[in-house]
Amino acid sequence: MTDAFCLFGSQALLKRLDALTQEIDGVREAKDIEYIHRMRVASRRLRTALTLFGECVPPKRLKKWEKQIKRITRALGAARDTDVQVHFLEEADAHVPERRFRPGIKRLILRLRQKREELQDDVIEALGKFEKSGVPGDMIQSLTRAPGDADPAFLDSHDFVLYQRAFLAVSTRIQELLAYDQHVPFPDHVTELHEMRIAAKNLRYTMEVFAPLYGDEFKQIIETMKSAQETLGDIHDCDVWVSFLPDFLEEERARARDYYGSIRAVKRLEPGIAYLQSERQYHRGVRHNEFADFWQIHKESDTWRNLLQLLQSQVAEHVTSANAPAKRGGSSRPPARPRKSAPQTVDRLCVALIGDVHANLPALEAVLAHAREQGVEAIWNVGDFVGYGAFPDEVVKLLQSERAVSISGNYDLKTLQVRRKKAKWQKNKHPDKLFAFEWAYNHLSAESRDYLKSLPQEQRLTVGGKRILLTHGSPDSNEDPLTPETPDDHLRELALKANADVIISGHSHQPFARRVDEVWFINTGSVGRPDDGDPRACYAVLRITPESLDVQHYRVEYDTERIAAAIRDHGLPESFARIFLYGRSLDDLVVEE
């Protein structure tokens, strides 16, 4: 990972560690409940940052840090939740509509204060273990860089990888949040709304980490997420009360029975508990209606789409912050640049256009080596990382390390959907294709699956004043193949929809570059799975300036026996090996058989 990414991460971690340690003395004294609240939030923010930048920390050290900070969060959580409950009851007692409700409320306050005193011992113990572990000092020593490493000019360069990782992290959290969209209208979906609160919190904390890279629009969306988190939190608190109050009353009855031999003394508590139960249920209904309205407003105003577009635009603006693809063993640190704002567009660029790698690592490695020889400065990948080949995880990780600007292809999406749609697809898909999706899914790491999930299905860039669209199939569909035989009239229709000067696609595995009126259509060909009878890998190099556009396709030899041997070693169908050995599609091979 680049120095810029890890340096940015070190500063984010140190900031959150400082926020946590500043609260320790106040938490010990326990005179103000806000100390424990701030420390708990700081611990959660610190854990979020560790998740994002953990790869910059040695694994053993990271494991120790995570263990100690998680222990702090857990101890603070129980105490903070009880503080909130006591505070709520004190407010309720002060504004109770009828005096007969007070005995029940006051008994609750008494029991919860007793519980809080016990929890304070756990908090003190956790603080002591945290300090004794040496984690705070170790983090400061490990994360504090030498003055030269923290040069502001270097930080201001904000290399491309940093913006790409911000996009991946935030977009993943957005998708996690949107997964609960279907549950918003239903107040009785208690578990899902609670999980949505956690997703909103995770998105907010992740956005806060990367907020220094973005402007006021980002801050506004963070405030939106804070509102969503707080409303969902209030709904969850009501759910906790509704569940807790009947149990509390039963516990008081058991105490009275054991002490007095009768539950008569508990009768005076029942009106107050019943009042709280009814009030919390009513309040939950009000808050749920507010959240449903809030959510609908932001759906209609495209809040999440606008956020994704903001993230994508910053990736596009910083595409040339990356140097030529990093060579193994070499430093990936970019040279320091003068302090200035990032350009809105790129003037000129030499870029490798790749696509349809299909888990063929030997082919991808050969293409990347050839591209370096051509002097490329960036890699644009139009998708289909996986499918048929034996190296799905390795391909994803290599393209990530090479800082490729990538979109998802139809095979990537089907691989991610296979568990959910397998039964349906068994009726109409060739068994080998279905097996390819399932095998790829099972051989992708969780991190690689998350990465693929986060990818957009199209990407827009501007180079030399030319508007560029990356799409897997066509602007109409990621399964619409564009070929040298595609009629001009159809391409004109697509050009009108695309609103772009250059449309770069893959999917058909048929390389071509063609100008229709003023719009260029370029198909990258297939790196990993050509199907024209020539098994050599195919890709293109695009050289673009304000005055010109030049594209050249290349066929690159690679070790086809290596990919075939890996396929056989993994027990994959022999037809998969023949795809790569002979440069033929699975459909063609099936027909021949």
- 26 shares a domain with 123: yes
* Phi and psi torsions of 29, nearest 5°: -70, -30
405 lies in some domain: yes
pLDDT tens-digit profile of 442-485?
999 988 988 888 788 888 887 777 889 999 999 999 899 999 99
CATH label of the domain that carries residue 298: 1.20.120
Report whether 448 contacts 395 (CB < 8 A): no
pLDDT mean for each 10 residues of the chain (593 residues): 78 95 94 94 95 89 93 93 95 93 96 95 93 94 65 49 81 84 93 94 94 84 92 96 95 92 92 96 96 92 84 68 38 31 50 96 97 91 95 94 88 91 81 91 91 85 84 92 95 91 95 95 96 94 89 97 96 93 79 47
Domain membership of residue 261 (yes or no) is no
Distance CA 507, CA 475 (A): 12
CA–CA distance, 19 with 298 (Å, rounded to integer):
31
Is residue 304 domain-resident?
A: yes
Determine contact, residues 463/320, Cβ cutoff 8 Å.
no
Sheet of strand 405-406: strand arrangement? 405-406, 378-381, 349-354, 537-544, 549-556
Contact 143, 284 (CB under 8 A): no
The whole-number pLDDT of residue 342 equals 31
Look at residue 332 in the predicted model and tell me its pLDDT: 35
User: 110 with 166, same domain?
Assistant: no
Q: What is the pTM of this model?
A: 0.61
- Inter-CA distances, 537 with 282, 363, 471, 540, 562, Å: 65, 6, 20, 10, 14
CA distance 169 to 403: 15
Cβ atoms of 118 and 82 within 8 Å: the answer is no
Asked whether residue 45 falls in the same domain as residue 93, the answer is yes
How far, in Å, CA of 322 to CA of 513, rounded? 26
3-class state of residue 272 by DSSP: helix
Q: Are residues 168 and 220 in the same domain?
A: yes
Beta pairing partners, 379: 352
Q: Which residues are CB-contacts of 237 (< 8 A; sequence separation ≥ 6)?
A: 84, 88
- List of residues 6+ apart from 577 with CB closer than 8 A: 563, 564, 567, 568
Q: Is residue 84 part of a domain?
A: yes
Task: Tell whether 60 is covered by a domain.
Answer: yes
Q: What single-letter DSSP state applies at residue 76?
A: H
As to burial, measured by CB atoms within 10 angstroms (0-12 exposed, 13-18 middle, 19+ buried), residue 360 is buried
Tokens in use for 300?
């209609």
Same domain, 237 and 378: no
pLDDT of residue 478: 87
Q: Which of 145, 175, 202 is the last residue of a domain?
A: 145
Cβ pair 4, 321 in contact under 8 A = no
In a domain, 474, yes or no: no
* CATH number of domain containing 25: 1.40.20.10
141 and 186 both lie in a single domain: no
* Whether 334 contacts 362, CB under 8 Å: no
The CATH number linked to 371 is 3.60.21.10
Q: Are 179 and 120 contained in the same domain?
A: no
Q: What b/e string do you get for 104-130 counting C-beta neighbours within 10 Å, with b at 16 or more?
A: bbbbbbeebeeebeebbeebeebbeeb
* SS3 assignment, position 424: helix
The C-alpha angle with vertex 196 and arms to 195 and 202, in degrees rounded to 5, equals 95
Task: Count how many residues are written for the chain.
Answer: 593
Residues 137 and 55 reside in one and the same domain: yes
434 and 550 together in one domain = yes
| Domain limit, last residue, from 105, 122, 145 | 145
d(CA 40, CA 71): 11
Give the separation between CA 367 and CA 554, rounded to whole angstroms.
Answer: 9
Q: Quick one: CA dihedral 68, 71, 73, 79, positive or negative?
A: negative
Domain boundary among 145, 177, 207: 145
Domain count, the chain: 3
Cβ neighbours, 10 Å, residue 258: 8
- With a CB cutoff of 8 Å and minimum separation 6, the contacts of 318 are 158, 159, 160, 162, 163, 342
Tell me the helix, strand and coil percentages in the chain, rounded to 5: 65, 10, 25
For residues 362 and 234, state if they share a domain. no
Domain of residue 236: give its range. Answer: 158-241+285-321
What strands lie across the sheet with 502-505, from one edge to the other? 458-463, 466-471, 502-505, 519-523, 512-516
Return the axis-axis angle of helices 303-317 and 160-178, rounded to nearest 10°. Answer: 160
Whether the Cβ atoms of residue 321 and residue 334 lie closer than 8 Å to each other: yes
- DSSP state letters, 503-516: EEE-SS---EEEEE
Q: CA triplet 558, 562, 568: central angle to 5 degrees?
A: 145
The predicted pLDDT at position 572 comes to: 94
Residue bearing tokens 């913006």 = 163
Do 206 and 102 lie in one domain? The reply is: no
In a domain, 174, yes or no: yes
Q: Are residues 76 and 163 in the same domain?
A: no
The per-residue pLDDT for 2 is 54
